[in-house]
Structures are given as structure tokens and as C-alpha cells.
Structure 1
Amino acid sequence: MTDPSEALGRAIRERRATIAIVGLGYVGLPLALASARAGFRVIGFDVNPDRVARINAGEPVIALLDTDAMRAALESGRFRATGDTARLAEADAILICVPTPLTRQREPDLSYIRATAADIARTLRPGQLVVLESTTWPGTTQEVLKPILEATGLISGTDFFLAYSPEREDPGNAVHTLAATPKVVGGDGAAARDLADLLYGQIVARTVPVSSTATAEAVKLTENIFRAVNIALVNELKTVYDAMGIDVWEVIGAAATKPFGFMPFHPGPGLGGHCIPIDPFYLTWKAREFDVPTRFIELAGEVNRHMPHYVVERLARALDQRFGRALRGTPILLVGMAYKRNVDDVRESPALKLMELLEERGADVAYHDPLVPEIPPTREYPHLAGRRSVPLDAEILARSAATLIVTDHDTVDYGLIVAHAPLVVDTRNACGRAGHAGETIVL
């Protein structure tokens, strides 16, 4: 009788394997295109029928995604999107790229992983490889995903193969693309690890096998906690240096000239995106099970969550000092709604929190974002959904008492802002980098 792992390994090496990717967002869709480009047949799954239809029509659904590459994959017949989870039976390898948010109590929400696992279990067959890519706490693959799949009667490592490989997607990064970024791989046993390593080795330039799925899960959390802690540090330094009249951006720029022992991180109005504001709390939650304190990580989260409040206070102080005006009844223009430059993703964006805080204090808030024409529904800010971006022109800038730069998209005309806005508060040093600092207040 043929060994399932040997048959699957041959299919992967010969590019005959069919890959299913569950979740066609910022992680799953680029992975689907990279897999198709490597020569595999790819079926993409998404619960949003409108998104599926737009993808299959070759329409752009993510800012900066190579739409031509998506259309080429569709035209070649190697890629197609669907919402029919029964088609998971066609796949030899199933890669799970679904969200892992937090609940309102800031605890891990694994509902998307559990629902996907249930979908896979309905059609699971011997010889399939299942890989979780979603960021989560160490132990999720073994403690949550594996039992759901093994409830079918099939055994991991014998009938099917289970692995974890954390996504390392950086939306908008043209240098460190998915294919150029090393892929960490851990398996439920050596056979699963080797199969996942073989699969990703056909898609990316380099793989990094590790000893277990829990180790691979911990790698992803460590990467993002490292960033969260260092961002919290520079955010705290910003508040200290601001009180001293010292430009933190100048300090960081000069410190970065040291060729060793220093890595520049930059302050901002708060954290956003699907990773850094969320991932540290997956570890702090799991650490409670082992009665281990995570004070350092929790303090970093506290500092970063406070930044929107700090920005609003500084803006209010600037309005009072410059014009003798309070926030109540004052028109404020936010520039940038996305969580980072040059993307259209608003998940966990500090701009949403800033808009809410300003409006709670009575400000009349509008926003401009060339990549976010309308605020989509979000779990935390459903009341802001449907708000539309206004044009960025001299008239709107002049009638806004203050313009608050939250996201530093490259396509924004910062010279126009400085020339016509009565007051500019820049949380990203965007005007300074563009050579238009003028009278800008840089936070």
C-alpha cells in the first residue's frame, strides 16, 4: 500500500498537487498568486461572495496587489476563487489564512480557525496536508486544530499531515515580498514538517524548519512582540522629549547613524493592522495558564493604546495656544484612515480611534484618504462605517482649523497641506520628510 506522505511528496515535487487557500485577504491572496506562479493549481476560498466574484473577474481587491499577476493566474486556469467549501476535497494541501482577532475583553478569538477546521473536517481524506498560517498562541495547532480534524477518525501523522507556518506578509513592501521572505515551518511530527517544508520550498526562496508547531507559533509572536515593545519605547520617548522641546525624529535619525547596537523604530499615533496591536495579547493570555507574568509586554500595550489619547490632547493644546479654540465645534481634517502608508487596510487603525475621540469631544471631523474612499464596517467602530473621504484641496484645508496627519501615504500632497492648512499636526513626520515642515507641529 502506498505511503500517503510519499505520494503527496511526489505530487508536490512534480507540481501536480492542488493547493487550497482558505481566506483571500492580505495574506491568502498573495500566497495564492505566488503558489500559482510556482506552477501549482490553486483554489482560493473566501466567505465573502462579492470578494470571490471580484477576484474571479480580475478586479483589484487589495491596494498594491499585482492585479496583472492575478489576471494572468486566472487566465492560465491555475487559480480560481470560490465559496464552496465542499471543493476542499479536491486539495492535496490546505493552507489556512483566516483572521485571529481579539474579543472585546482582549482575549483570543479563534472562531474563524474553528469554523475553517470544521469545514476541512467535512471533506478530510487520507493524504492531505493541512497548514495553519494564522497568527495565534503557541499550542493552537495541537490543542485546537488537531482535535477537530482527528474527530473524523483520521490520525495526524498517519492519515493526514498537520503543520504550522506563520505568515510574514508585509503589505506594501516591494522589497521583502512573500516569495523573497524566508518561511518558518513546524510540523506535527517529522513527516508533516518535511511535507510542509517541501511545499513552501517550491514557492519561496528559503524555508526555516523548526522542531514543532508550537515553536513556529512562538516565532511569529516573538517577531511582532519585538516590534510592539520597541514602538512603545519610542512612543514613550516621544512624549518625554516633546516635554523637553526635543525633536524625537531628529534624535532617532542621529542615533541610527551608529552602525551597531541600535535599530531605529519610529513613533506614531498608535498601533494598527492585523498583527502588532493584537498578537502580544495572544501570548499574555496563554501565559496565564502557566502562571507566568508578562508585565513588560502588557506595559508596552498600555503605552501604545494610550497614544491616540496623547495625540488628541496635543492637538487640543495646539488649537488653544494658536487660536484660543477648544475642540468642541471645531472642524478637524484627518489625513489618512489606513493603519499604515500605501495600503487600504483600516483594521485596528489608530485613525478610527482618533476620529471617535475627537467627535466625543465635540469636534467636527472629516477625513481624506486616497486609498480608503469609504470606511468599511469594523468590529470596534461600526458607527463610523460609511463615512466617505473628502477631497484634499485648498478650500477644505483652509476651512479646517487643524489638519491631523495620521497616515503618511506617498500620494498625498504635503506641500498643499502646509501651504493652506491653518494648523498642521503631523504624527508621522511626513511633511518633514517631504521637505515641507514649515510651521508643522510634529508629534
Structure 2
Amino acid sequence: MKIAIIGLGYVGLPLAIRFASSGSEVLGLDTDPSKVESLSRGDSYIRHIPSTEVASLVERGAFEASTDFSRVAEVEAILICVPTPLDVHREPDLSYVLQSGAGIAPYLDSGLKTVKGEIRPKLVVLESTTYPGTTDTELREVLEKGSGLKAGVGFHLAYSPEREDPGRTDHSVRTIPKVMGGYTEACLKRCEELYSMAVDQIHPVSSCRIAEATKLTENIFRSVNIALMNELKVVFHEMGIDVWDVIDAASTKPFGYMPFYPGPGLGGHCIPIDPFYLTWKAREYGKHTRFIELAGEVNTDMPDYVIGRVAEVLNEEGKAIRGSKILLLGIAYKPDVDDDRESPSYALMSRLERRGAAVSYNDPYVPEIRSLRHYPEFAGRKSVEISAEYDLILLATHHSEYREYDFSYFEVPIVDTRSCLKYPGLRYVKA
């Protein structure tokens, strides 16, 4: 089978590699020419995906990258893995999904393949996280309008949410069970057939909307529990209690408890964004998702809490934030990866600089800050060496390099938002 995958980022590229490694011929499509050029050379631009793996697939013709969306005429199935961010009003932005749909729609009626004497319509699967109803309404309408075909008849349509966790080694695209729902039973059957080629376990559900709601539920679960830990961190601090010690002790209970950990805010492509997709959609039905929105407020407030703790520590040194030199450790949103999407580190940098601090950063995985949607002023900044020549060091990401780094001789105050340092300095504070 030949398939196309639209969007070659942290979701699309691993998926492309999995299908190509499973015997499919994969056409990767992206609007970014630099990504296409890199992959065509066999070079990976994602740190945890080795270039040797990409090069091997390119060399044997299992994978090819292109910016030419008309080439979906060549394939049997099209998987859409594009961003679904929030706009400036924190409302869902489906523009990437709908533009992708409009781009492929004119080619859905071409290249139909005869199998055992039957005509097999092309299959379109949306993987991008979104609110229930996106696949069978907005995307379906764009595809039908652009192709002149009816979903379920002229082309098959399904939704199967991505469950990618960049840098994770105990689970992979192949081993993570794949949830999927189809617009019709025939659509679902085609979707099952497709993913069974590349993943170990599939879990079909009765509709696209159930599959869409499944992904939101998974991420809302994490958002709410992280918010609870963030709130407890603030309360326990006032009581003189270390929340990380509490979590460590509570984790010894073999039932009825699952550990979640506080931090300086939420990052990544899912947790800071997905809950708001449901809160927005719920308003259409006259419902107010108070619990979800409260969790979002708590998590969004965490950078301000951290800045407050930084101010307290500097004050104890007889200094103010204004005029202080601060080294921020970690730009990536999670440890040991180069993924900086929605990273709370940017919020920390922005708030500190607005209050007059001079902020430098170190991150072994992000040597230079790329162009950013929300913080364009940081683009081009480069990682500096770790040193004690600062008024304060603020640890935002628990990279392995930081956990093992010997800060024991540092006299500069260190504020650790992850409680991760094995060899903290003389003036060490958790926040």
C-alpha cells in the first residue's frame, strides 16, 4: 500500500517511519521546503529520531518527502497530522486541518484502485487533536466540496488520534494501542485495515466523535491532575511542607493513587491546548466546563508563581529582579528532547525580562531558539554555557544533564521548579 502523511513534525514523521518500516510506501507531505530538503537527504531534524533511520528508508524507496500535495493522487490513504493550536483568543484554530483538506480534495477521485474487482475509494484519516464533530462536519464538508464526492461513498473518512510522546522509549508508535472511529462502518473497516499493518493493537469505536472525545479526555485527565499538584505545591509551601516528598510517599500506595508532578507551567502540543478545545465546543451546547477551566487557570498561573519565588530569593540576597542577571536552564517543555512547543520557559523568560532582568538560557537540546508564534522576540537566541556568573539560576526543565550536573560549589542561588538536582548548590530553593 502507498500512503501519504501530511505534516512531518513530531507526530507525522514518527508515523511515516513506522509505516515505511512496516512495508508501506510512504509519501510525506509538508509545506516547509526545508523539512522536505532535509528528509530527502536522509537527515532528521528531530533529535530523538536518528538520521540513519530516515536515510535507510529513503535509500530503499520506502519513504519520500515532497511539498507537492497533488501527489496524493498516487496514494490509497492520506493521514493528516497537522497542528491544531489555539488562536489569540484561546479558541480552536482549525486552519491547518481545513487547508490540508482543501489541498487534497481535488485529487480524491483519482487513482482509485481495483481490488478483487471492486473500486476502493481513498481513505482520509485525521490524527490531529480536535473537538468532537470536526471530522464528520468541518473536514467532511471541505473534502466533499472540493472533490464533488460524498464521504462514505466516493471516499472514506475516519479519525484516529495521535498518542505520540516525544522522546519516550518504553512505548512507541507500534506498541501504543490505536483508537479509531469511522464516518461509516465501511470507513472504520478501511481504517482498521490500514493501521493493523503498522501497529500491534487497534481499538475501534463506533464514531469519529467518540475517538475525538477519547483524546481530549486523556489530556484533560492529565491537565486536571497536574493542576491539583500545582495547587498543592503552593499550599504546602506556605505550610513548610515539600510537595515532592509528599508525592513520593503517596506513591507507595499500591492502589487508588497515581503520581502527577507540579512544575513551572504546562508545555507541549497537547496538555496546554486540548482542554480548551472541549470548553469551547461545550459552550455550543450551553454547558460550562468549570472544572476543566479552573485547572487551566491554575496551570496558566504557575509561571507567575515561579516569578514570585524568584523575587523572594533575590530579595533575600538584597537584590531585585530589575537589573539581575538570570540563567534559565531548559527551553524544551520536557526532559531530554528538543521539543519546545508551548514551553513554559518562554513565559518565564518573557515575564522576567518585562520586569527588567537580563535572561540568558542553556539547553543542550535547543542550541538556538527557532521562530516562535507567541514569542517572536526570542528567535535566534543561542544557548550559553552554565556558570556561576549570575545573580540567580532558574531550572525549568529536568534534562538528565542538569540532574547530574555538579552545582555543589555554586554560591549563586538556584531555584529548581522540578526538584531534580542531585548535587544542588549552597543556596538551593524549590519552587
Same fold (TM over 0.5): yes
Are 2:188 and 1:193 aligned? yes
Are 2:20 and 1:41 aligned? no
The letter of the residue matching 1:130 is V
Distance, in Å, in 2 between the alignment partners of 1:214 and 1:105 is 24
47, 51, 56: which one pairs with 2:35?
51
Q: Which residue of 2 aligns with 1:71?
A: 55
Are 2:425 and 1:425 aligned? no
Distance, in Å, in 2 between the alignment partners of 1:78 and 1:95 is 16
The letter of the residue matching 1:440 is Y
Q: Which residue of 1 aligns with 2:104?
A: 120
SS of structure 2 residue aligned to 1:399: coil
Q: In the TM superposition, what is the alpha-carbon distance from 1:411 to its structure 2 partner?
A: 2.6
Q: Which residue of 2 aligns with 1:398?
A: 388
SS of structure 2 residue aligned to 1:184: strand
Distance, in Å, in 2 between the alignment partners of 1:368 and 1:118 is 41
The letter of the residue matching 1:241 is F
Are 2:338 and 1:354 aligned? no
Distance, in Å, in 1 between the alignment partners of 2:280 and 2:305 is 27
SS of structure 1 residue aligned to 2:264: coil
Q: In the TM superposition, what is the alpha-carbon distance from 1:134 to its structure 2 partner?
A: 0.1
Instruction: Give the share of equivalent positions with the same residue, in percent.
Output: 53
The letter of the residue matching 1:336 is G
The letter of the residue matching 1:294 is T
Runs of 4+ residues deviating >2 angstroms:
411-421, 434-439
Distance, in Å, in 2 between the alignment partners of 1:36 and 1:47 is 21
Render the CA deviation track for 1:95-143: whole Å, top value 9, x for unaligned.
Answer: 0000000001000000000100001112112510000000000000011
Q: Which residue of 2 aligns with 1:313?
A: 308
The letter of the residue matching 1:246 is I
Please list every run of 5 or more consecutive structure 2 residues that lacks an aligned counterpart in the other structure: 113-120
Are 2:82 and 1:98 aligned? yes
User: Relative to 1, partners in 2 of residues 1:337 and 1:363: Cα closer, same or farther, differing over 3 Å?
Assistant: same
The answer to whether the 8 Å contact 2:408/2:423 transfers is no
Q: Which residue of 1 aligns with 2:405?
A: 415
Render the CA deviation track for 1:297-327: whole Å, top value 9, x for unaligned.
Answer: 0000000000000000001101111x11001
SS of structure 2 residue aligned to 1:420: coil
Q: Which residue of 2 aligns with 1:376?
A: 370
Distance, in Å, in 1 between the alignment partners of 2:9 and 2:84 is 13
Render the CA deviation track for 1:63-121: whole Å, top value 9, x for unaligned.
Answer: 11132221111111110111011111111000000000000100000000010000111
Q: Which residue of 2 aligns with 1:12?
A: none
The answer to whether the 8 Å contact 1:418/1:440 transfers is no
The answer to whether the 8 Å contact 1:185/1:209 transfers is yes
Distance, in Å, in 2 between the alignment partners of 1:66 and 1:219 is 31
Distance, in Å, in 1 between the alignment partners of 2:198 and 2:296 is 35
Q: Which residue of 1 aligns with 2:240?
A: 245
Render the CA deviation track for 1:255-307: whole Å, top value 9, x for unaligned.
Answer: 00000000000000000111000000000000000001100000000000000
SS of structure 1 residue aligned to 2:164: coil
SS of structure 2 residue aligned to 1:417: coil
Higher helix share: 1
318, 333, 338: which one pairs with 1:324?
318
Q: Which residue of 2 aligns with 1:11?
A: none
Q: Which residue of 2 aligns with 1:26?
A: 10
* Stretch of structure 1 that moved more, 152-161 or 202-211: 152-161
Distance, in Å, in 1 between the alignment partners of 2:393 and 2:423 is 17
197, 201, 206: which one pairs with 2:201?
206
Are 2:155 and 1:165 aligned? no
SS of structure 2 residue aligned to 1:377: coil
Distance, in Å, in 1 between the alignment partners of 2:396 and 2:263 is 8
The letter of the residue matching 1:203 is A
Q: In the TM superposition, what is the alpha-carbon distance from 1:413 to its structure 2 partner?
A: 6.2
Q: Which residue of 2 aligns with 1:142?
A: 136
User: Relative to 1, partners in 2 of residues 1:357 and 1:404: Cα closer, same or farther, differing over 3 Å?
Assistant: same
Q: Which residue of 2 aligns with 1:345?
A: 339
User: Relative to 1, partners in 2 of residues 1:205 and 1:421: Cα closer, same or farther, differing over 3 Å?
Assistant: farther
**TM-score, normalisation: structure 1:** 0.93
Distance, in Å, in 1 between the alignment partners of 2:69 and 2:365 is 31
Measured on the aligned residues, the alpha-carbon RMSD in Å equals: 1.1
Distance, in Å, in 2 between the alignment partners of 1:418 and 1:406 is 18
Are 2:417 and 1:442 aligned? no
57, 60, 68: which one pairs with 2:44?
60
Distance, in Å, in 1 between the alignment partners of 2:411 and 2:207 is 55
Q: Which residue of 2 aligns with 1:13?
A: none
Q: Which residue of 2 aligns with 1:226?
A: 221
Equivalent residues, number: 420
SS of structure 1 residue aligned to 2:349: helix
The answer to whether the 8 Å contact 1:402/1:421 transfers is no
The letter of the residue matching 1:403 is I
SS of structure 2 residue aligned to 1:270: coil
Q: In the TM superposition, what is the alpha-carbon distance from 1:436 to its structure 2 partner?
A: 4.0
SS of structure 1 residue aligned to 2:409: helix
The letter of the residue matching 1:158 is V
The letter of the residue matching 1:327 is I
The letter of the residue matching 1:124 is L
215, 218, 221: which one pairs with 2:210?
215
SS of structure 1 residue aligned to 2:407: helix
Distance, in Å, in 2 between the alignment partners of 1:375 and 1:230 is 30
The letter of the residue matching 2:373 is R
Distance, in Å, in 2 between the alignment partners of 1:299 and 1:21 is 36
* Stretch of structure 1 that moved more, 375-384 or 247-256: 375-384
Distance, in Å, in 1 between the alignment partners of 2:170 and 2:411 is 34
Q: Which residue of 1 aligns with 2:70?
A: 86
